[in-house]
Amino acid sequence: MSELMSHGSEVTSVFQLIGTLENDITKSIAWALCKCPVFMKKIIAEVLNIDINPEMVRIGYQEFEKDKGITDLEITDDESFFIIVEAKRGWILPYAEQLTLYSERKAIVQSGAKQKAIVSMSECSKEYAKSYLPFHEVNGIPVLHLSWARIYDLANESRVGSSIAQRNLLKELMEYLGGIMTMQSKDSNWVYVVSVGTGHPDNCELTWIDFVEKRGRYFHPIGGGRKGWPKTPPNYIGFRYYGQLQSIHHIEDYIVTRNLHEEFEEMPDVECDMDHFVYKLGPAIKPAHIVKTGKLYPTGRVWAMLDTLLTSDTISEARDISYARE
């Protein structure tokens, strides 16, 4: 079979051709719901615990109402249920203002549907959303959450009882969601190099170096609140201390949390003022020669390509060579 490439990556699902932005994800979900009635029934049952007739369902994509914004999806049968969907890419939840506006839209307020809900869809786990959604009810309408992982599972379950064409479509949706469920760019050879100090976090006996060397873990705030930290997990992370590059690790897995005690018993049991990525590190890749820090600020964090870090004399040189390639 021929190979289809897009922007250097192999295309394994037709949904990848639509794209991976939030609007693209919404369109993909809407298409699968429309074409796969078993999937539709399972999604609605997951949200509202009711049995519906898919043939009676109407799906609205990006419905506009003046002063009330644009919804990602509106799903209803005009009788038993009315759902507004807000889809996000990554570990993001809707803001309170956004949910409030949706709850005031004429379409859902004036609907005679017996059950109504506003549903958040994103990579956030159900447990995380339960803790950090702005509220769980707004203007009498429940606010619920579905993770991409759960939607993936429901798509897989829906293949039983579906036609061959529907099973194929659901398989492609699963491949598509599988790529969305991690924000890492898996084909990237860029390394995020951070400075690790000999000190330790407040009220914690483990040093920053201990987290890397003894626990095989590392954490940092999610970008946006603090300049310089990434907003999405890198594929590789490098650690420099004692004046040189010590190791590079593939990030095998990660979670998002505001309470680091849940991952490290040595950390105080308090809630941070912002979300943190907590990485599980793969085996250490050690440079064959000493790679000094070079011309970097003591706490500076930089990006460099993997091969340049293993062949350059300094981290700053690797950074400069990497950007010159770009």
pLDDT score, position 274:
85
Model pLDDT for residues 46-99, shown as the tens digit of each residue: 999 999 999 999 999 999 998 888 999 999 999 999 999 999 877 778 989 999
**How far is Cα 193 from Cα 245, in angstroms, rounded to an integer?**
8
The β-bridge relationship of strands 217-221 and 276-285 is: antiparallel
Distance of CA 298 to the CA centre of its chain: 31
Residue type at 236 in one-letter notation: Y
How confident is the model at residue 178, as a pLDDT? 82
CA distances from 71 to 25, 42, 65 (A): 14, 22, 9
Return the H-helix or E-strand segment holding 54: none
**What pLDDT is stored for residue 102 in this prediction?**
96
Which residues does 46 contact at the CB level (< 8 Å), separation at least 6?
146, 150, 154
The pLDDT of residue 225: 42
pLDDT tens-digit readout, 242-284: 999 999 999 998 988 999 999 999 999 999 888 899 999 999 9
pTM exceeds cut of 0.75: no
Please give the average pLDDT of every successive group of 10 residues along the chain, which has 326 residues. Answer: 60 68 88 96 97 95 90 95 91 88 95 96 84 91 94 96 95 86 68 94 93 96 70 91 96 91 93 91 92 92 93 95 90
